[in-house]
Copies of this chain bind each other. A is one copy, B any other.
Amino acid sequence: MSILRQDPTTKDWVIIATDRGKRPDDFQKTIVESTFATYDAECPFCPGQEHLTPPEIIRYPHGSHLDWRVRVVPNKYAAVGLNGKPYRKETGHFFREMGGVGHHEVIIETPQHHQSLSRMTTNEVEAVLLACHERYCALKQDPQVKSIVLFKNHGERAGTSLIHPHSQIVGTPVAPLLVRKKYEVAMSHFDDTGRCLYRDLVDEERLAKVRVLFESTRFVVFHPFASRVPFETWIAPKYEEPAFGHVEHRHLAELADVLRRTLKALDDALGNPDFNYIIHSAPPEDDTKHYFLWHIQILPRLTTIAGFELGSGIFINTILPEDAAAHMKNYLQ
């Protein structure tokens, strides 16, 4: 029989149905990387094609002033943007519309066309996180921004259209329901106990041990109890910090090392899987309260989101997170 588990951070359930008999190593695929070109003359994110992107917001130089390590540019096909005035329109009783005011930027993580965070050095990953952090703090200054979503799409199944490594940051003029729900659940826990839900949860995962992959001084990496997809992996701080923008610069190197090692282990265990990750933070207006803890959710895209998930919001996972975690431990370096 399958089991249902409740995600304590959303109160929604997942179904874990292992009856298909998939073992953790069934997800491993053969790595086919025929081309490992470091440069693609058609790619707008490669060096020499900087004129193909909108004017850059950040450039971290490297050696000569023409070289760079990381660039941040506005997304050419922005979901929300800076042009146009904010407006609200209501037609009839139901048709509520507003202008897509906001920010949508791309963090180009490396000048190399074929590269990945898992193969980069800790220093290089740190520069990526620093750029994300810098833009997070900048977007937070805009009073129109109600939510900041930092995410990465890696691979076609994860929705990427450009192979050159990049992540994205979006500042939206509304607080998404999912973000609000996560915050409400955390606030309710704080009302009941006076403590941060996520810190309590991280403590219980550390106590249970079976889903924890590894820890550093300040961070813990684990597969959550109610993993929605096979090999879902979270990275969370062990200290109180509601938003990613609050991380001190001096701790980004440690986070970079933890992120790099986690992605490397996923790469090795699963054969360079497509994945998304999201850096969740408290809504900017509430990020001084210690109800929330920022955290990274890594979601390998090994299965397809189908009708049941779209119709119910409930995910069907085919492997127990403790089994996935045990398997992952063979690949940690």
Contacts and interface: CB of A to CB of B under 8 A. Distances in A.
A172 interface: yes
Q: Which of A13, A150, A277, A299 has the most CB of B within 10 A?
A: A13
Interface stretch (A38-46, A175-183, A247-255): A175-183
A81 B204 CA distance: 30
Contact of A100 (B17, B172, B208, B307): B17
B278 A204 contact: no
A225 B93 CA distance: 12
A97 B4 CA distance: 6
A177 B14 CA distance: 11
B208 A98 contact: no
Q: Is the interface of A mostly helix, strand, loop or mixed?
A: mixed
Contacts of A56: none
Contact of A11 (B168, B177, B311, B312): B177
Contact of A79 (B17, B173, B278): B17
Interface stretch (A124-132, A151-159, A234-242): A151-159
Interface residues of A, number: 79
B17 A77 contact: yes
Given A277-B307, A314-B172, A4 B159 contact: no
A304 interface: yes
A66 interface: no
A17 B78 contact: yes
A48 interface: no
Nearest to A154: B307
Interface string A1-43: 1111110101111011101100000000000000000000000
B174 A208 contact: no
B307 A92 contact: no
A207 interface: yes
B93 A208 contact: no
Contacts of A84: 1
Nearest to A10: B177
Contacts of A13: 174, 176
A117 to B, nearest CB: 14
Nearest to A96: B6
B179 A95 contact: no
A162 interface: no
28 contacts: A1-B83, A1-B99, A2-B78, A3-B100, A4-B97, A4-B172, A4-B173, A8-B94, A13-B174, A15-B100, A15-B172, A16-B100, A19-B77, A19-B78, A94-B200, A94-B204, A95-B204, A95-B225, A147-B312, A151-B306, A152-B307, A156-B304, A176-B314, A177-B313, A179-B312, A276-B310, A278-B310, A297-B310
